[in-house]
């Protein structure tokens, strides 16, 4: 007699009926939220006859039925885990889809096909990016094409590549990472600024122009200025002051000397960080603002007013580069914007393309930045500047959950053959003792 939620169900001796028992009891347990109780009642000969005490190998049939139910529940948990794993892969693919312009469903399938390697990785986020880029390059991952806004990697890159291999190049990469700036972008920017030549762009050097210092071309008008930037190596917000004579650190207060190579790089990288924060990681705006300074805001204001929208709305749409017409106008007619400007032109009106032209995209076209304000990793497509912003904690949480689930699934799959054999043996025993 099977008793569920106070209701009794009489068991038959037929083989067919006992095969159904496991399925019916399991369904009733799930449906009614009840527990399974087997009641041996000597008033029911059919039930009593299922277990024959005179056999030396006594089998507890109710316990067998319980085991079958547990195995079935284990199967259901396995299927649930697999479904959740698929959803996590889809979420991860969705996160990267914006910058990469990839088909998210195809990206999720690639993640699933490589899920074991991803889950064993020490840097899963990096491996996911490399996996996508490899499949894009091989033509295995469809890309949603978008018109290029700027031309990336179309200038002579030999200087950048050689510099990157040098000791000074490695220092530049370290400093870029220290302030959450993509190293390849940082090198491209410095190549446009100074040709990656620090010494000759200092006073007394052959390329010194009388106002801008070093590899990052820090303007003399900034001497003594102060600002805040986040140092990812030290995990602190620094109060930075620019000097042309000395370097110093007092807790979080830092004085950087433009004449010192590493300090000059730090000024450049930390300044880029502030520009990226100001323009919410619109890389086109942040790049042009590095060259135009505060005058770039005049271009944005005029453009936004003309369109009847706010500056924030203009900046938030990376596809809207209508501000570039005002950048060119300011370059050719600076007196319209700056009353006391004494020169006939202003800045570099094609600065964004000039910088991106030095960008080495041979290792991939996705630039990676870190936003300390929101704990986000920002991926930006170098060709159209579209961005995907991913909360670092959420990404780590998703990957941790994926890794944990994958371990459970793999353990089950490793034991699957054994589990199936146990289930078959259990059914055979039920069949044998119902004859």
pLDDT band at 19; cut points 50, 70, 90: very low
Average pLDDT over residues 64-79: 67
Which of the residue ranges 27-41, 192-206, 412-426 would you say has the lowest mean pLDDT? 27-41
Q: 3-class SS at 371? A: strand
Q: Which of 318, 383, 395, 331 is nearest to 95 (CA)?
A: 395
- pLDDT at 165 (0 to 100): 95
> Which is more confident, 33 or 379?
379
Asked whether the beta carbons of 64 and 423 are under 8 A apart, the reply is no
Which of the residue ranges 49-53, 118-122, 202-206, 314-318 would you say has the lowest mean pLDDT? 49-53
The residues, ordered by sequence, that sit 6+ positions from 401 with a Cβ below 8 Å of its Cβ are 88
pLDDT at 215 over 60: yes
Q: What percent of the chain has pLDDT over 70?
A: 78
- Distances, alpha carbon 287 to alpha carbons 100, 278, 300, in Å: 20, 11, 14
Alpha helices in 310-350 (DSSP H): 311-316, 323-332
Q: Which of 435, 398, 430 is nearest to 111 (CA)?
A: 398
Quick one: 52 exposed, middle or buried, by C-beta within 10 A (0-12, 13-18, 19+)? Answer: exposed
Domain boundaries, the chain: 2-142+395-432, 158-385
Asked whether the beta carbons of 40 and 47 are under 8 A apart, the reply is yes
Q: In this structure, what token pair is assigned to residue 21?
A: 């028992």
pTM: 0.71
Q: What percent of the chain has pLDDT over 90?
A: 49
Residue 134 Cα to chain centre, angstroms: 16
At residue 186, φ and ψ (nearest 5 deg) are: -60, -45
β-pair type (236-243, 253-257): parallel
Asked whether the beta carbons of 382 and 152 are under 8 A apart, the reply is yes
- pLDDT at 361 (0 to 100): 80
Q: In this structure, what token pair is assigned to residue 94?
A: 């969705």
Query: CA angle at residue 429 from 425 to 430, to 5 degrees?
Result: 120
Q: In this structure, what token pair is assigned to residue 27?
A: 């369904």
Query: Token match 């102060």: residue?
Result: 226
> Which is more confident, 425 or 239?
239
Mean predicted lDDT score pLDDT of the chain: 82
For the domain made up of 158-385, give the CATH fold. Lysozyme (1.10.530)
> Which is more confident, 393 or 231?
231
pLDDT at 430 over 80: no
Exposure b/e, 291-310, CB count within 10 A at least 16 = b: bbeebbebbbbbbbeeeeee
pLDDT in tens, 263-322: 999 999 999 999 999 999 999 999 999 999 999 999 999 999 999 999 999 999 988 999
Using the 8-state DSSP alphabet, how is residue 383 labeled? T
> Which is more confident, 41 or 422?
422
- Distances, alpha carbon 307 to alpha carbons 301, 315, 384, in Å: 10, 13, 22
Which of the residue ranges 50-64, 102-116, 140-154, 307-321 would you say has the lowest mean pLDDT? 50-64
pLDDT band at 329; cut points 50, 70, 90: very high
């Amino acid at each position: 007699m099977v008793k569920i939620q106070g209701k009794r169900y009489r068991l038959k001796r037929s083989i067919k009926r006992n095969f159904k028992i496991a399925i019916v009891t399991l369904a009733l347990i799930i449906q009614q939220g009840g527990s399974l109780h087997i009641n041996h009642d000597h008033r029911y000969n059919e039930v009593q006859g299922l277990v024959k005490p005179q056999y030396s190998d006594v089998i507890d049939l109710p316990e067998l039925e319980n085991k079958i139910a547990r195995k079935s529940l284990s199967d259901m948990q396995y299927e649930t885990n697999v479904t959740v794993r698929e959803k996590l892969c889809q979420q991860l693919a969705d996160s990267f889809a914006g910058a990469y312009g990839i088909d998210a469903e195809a990206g999720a399938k690639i993640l699933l096909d490589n899920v074991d390697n991803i889950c064993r990785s020490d840097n899963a986020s990096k491996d996911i990016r490399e996996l996508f880029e490899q499949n894009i390059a091989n033509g295995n991952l469809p890309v949603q094409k978008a018109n290029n806004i700027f031309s990336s990697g179309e200038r002579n890159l030999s200087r950048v590549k050689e510099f990157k291999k040098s000791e000074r190049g490695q220092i530049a990469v370290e400093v870029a990472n220290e302030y959450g700036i993509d190293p390849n972008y940082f090198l491209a920017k410095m190549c446009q600024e100074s040709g990656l030549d620090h010494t000759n762009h200092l006073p007394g050097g052959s390329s010194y122009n009388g106002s801008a210092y070093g590899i990052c071309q820090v303007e003399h008008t900034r001497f003594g200025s102060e600002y805040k930037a986040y140092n990812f190596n030290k995990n602190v917000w620094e109060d930075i002051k620019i000097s042309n004579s000395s370097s110093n650190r007092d807790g979080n207060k830092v004085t950087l000397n433009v004449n010192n190579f590493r300090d000059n790089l730090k000024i450049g990288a930390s300044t880029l960080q502030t520009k990226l924060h100001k323009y919410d990681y619109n890389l086109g705006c942040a790049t042009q603002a590095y060259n135009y300074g505060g005058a770039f805001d005049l271009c944005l204001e005029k453009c936004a007013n003309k369109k009847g929208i706010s500056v924030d709305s203009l900046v938030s749409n990376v596809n809207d580069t209508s501000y570039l017409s005002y950048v060119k106008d300011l370059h050719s007619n600076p007196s319209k914007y700056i009353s006391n400007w004494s020169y006939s032109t202003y800045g570099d009106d094609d600065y964004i393309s000039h910088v991106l032209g030095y960008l080495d995209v041979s290792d991939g076209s996705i630039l990676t930045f870190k936003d300390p304000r929101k704990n986000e990793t920002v991926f930006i497509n170098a060709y159209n500047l579209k961005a995907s912003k991913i909360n670092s904690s959420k990404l780590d949480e998703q990957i941790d959950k994926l890794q944990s689930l994958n371990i459970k699934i793999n353990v089950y799959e490793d034991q699957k053959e054994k589990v199936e054999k146990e289930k078959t043996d259990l059914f055979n025993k039920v069949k044998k003792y119902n004859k």
